């Protein structure tokens, strides 16, 4: 069987690049949130870590990725409902390549969105003294996080009954950074909220990226972040394959 992942990836990316409003739309919400928190709330929030934009940016990047992931689910849902996915299944190709094409498209398109958000953050005053290795490590964490959410999106895209249902799952993911260390230190939260915030995946991911890009010292929390991302990705991958087999045989 042929593996047309590259061909399908190229097809989907050409569609996105012909209509870049998807990337722009996804980037607008996190950029507006970044402007709001820095210029409206930033003066009242004390993090003790220097410019607030440096503290804020990692959480904003996760929100940007969570927003973009909804389009992965929507694209897959559209392919299933239009019958395109069923036509792919009649061809002599590796079936998992269709799913991988959607996941890799999500990875590339979200990388473009993240780049746009970082460029805006630089204009707003974000500065990092991280070397190339630290930047690559941060990019790696964001990439694994994107892949984990993309496989979750595949599950939703395959099982949703409506377009609204295909995208609705991203809303809790967008909200999750608000109950983490993304915007304020967890020490300032009530005890019950703090307990949840400190033991959910976003906090370890945000803290690791912040340490890599700004603080310069990375502790064991980076392994917690990677464990969360890889664990979610592996479980989602197998559930997605099972849903794919059930949906399309």
In angstroms, the CA 137 to CA 214 distance is: 13
3-state DSSP call for residue 93? strand
Cβ atoms 62, 202 nearer than 8 A? yes
Rg, the chain, Cα only? 19
Q: Does the structure show a pLDDT above 90 at 218?
A: no
Domain tally, the chain? 1
More confident site: 23 or 37: 37
Residue 202: what pLDDT?
Answer: 93
More confident site: 39 or 87: 39
% of the chain surpassing 70 pLDDT: 83
Domain that holds residue 103: 5-248
One-character DSSP codes across 153-197: HHHHHHH-SSHHHHHHTHHHHHHGGGGTTTTS-GGGS-HHHHHHH
Phi, psi (rounded to 5 degrees) for 132 = -60, -40
More confident site: 153 or 5: 153
- 150: tokens are 């993309």
In angstroms, the CA 10 to CA 175 distance is: 32
pLDDT tens digits along 28-63: 888 998 999 888 877 677 666 678 888 899 999 999
Q: Does the structure show a pLDDT above 70 at 20?
A: no
Q: Does the structure show a pLDDT above 80 at 249?
A: no
More confident site: 19 or 129: 129
Q: Does the structure show a pLDDT above 70 at 184?
A: yes
% of the chain surpassing 90 pLDDT: 33
pTM across the whole model: 0.88
Q: Tell me how far the alpha carbon of residue 35 is from its chain's centroid.
A: 20
pLDDT tens digits along 114-168: 999 999 999 998 988 888 888 999 999 999 999 999 999 888 888 877 777 777 7
Q: Does the structure show a pLDDT above 60 at 243?
A: yes
């Amino acid at each position: 069987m042929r593996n047309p992942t590259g061909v399908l990836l190229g097809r989907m990316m050409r569609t996105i690049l012909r209509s870049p409003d998807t990337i722009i739309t996804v980037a607008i919400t996190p950029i507006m949130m970044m402007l709001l928190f820095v210029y409206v709330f930033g003066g009242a929030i004390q993090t003790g870590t220097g410019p607030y934009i440096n503290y804020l940016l990692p959480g904003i990047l996760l929100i940007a990725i969570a927003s973009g992931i909804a389009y992965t689910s929507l694209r897959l849902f559209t392919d299933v409902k239009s019958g395109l996915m069923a036509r792919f299944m009649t061809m002599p190709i590796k079936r998992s390549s269709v799913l991988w094409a959607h996941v890799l498209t999500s990875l590339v398109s979200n990388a473009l969105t993240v780049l746009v958000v970082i460029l805006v953050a630089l204009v707003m005053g974000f500065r990092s003294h991280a070397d190339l290795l630290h930047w690559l490590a941060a990019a790696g964490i964001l990439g694994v996080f994107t892949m984990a959410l993309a496989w979750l999106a595949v599950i939703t895209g395959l099982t949703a009954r409506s377009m609204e249902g295909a995208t609705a799952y991203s809303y809790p993911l967008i909200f999750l950074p608000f109950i983490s260390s993304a915007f304020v230190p967890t020490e300032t939260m009530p005890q019950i909220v703090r307990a949840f915030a400190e033991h959910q995946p976003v906090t370890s991911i945000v803290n690791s990226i912040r340490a890599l890009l700004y603080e310069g010292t990375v502790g064991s929390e980076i392994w917690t972040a990677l464990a969360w991302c890889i664990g979610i990705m592996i479980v989602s991958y197998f559930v997605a394959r099972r849903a794919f087999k059930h949906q399309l045989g």
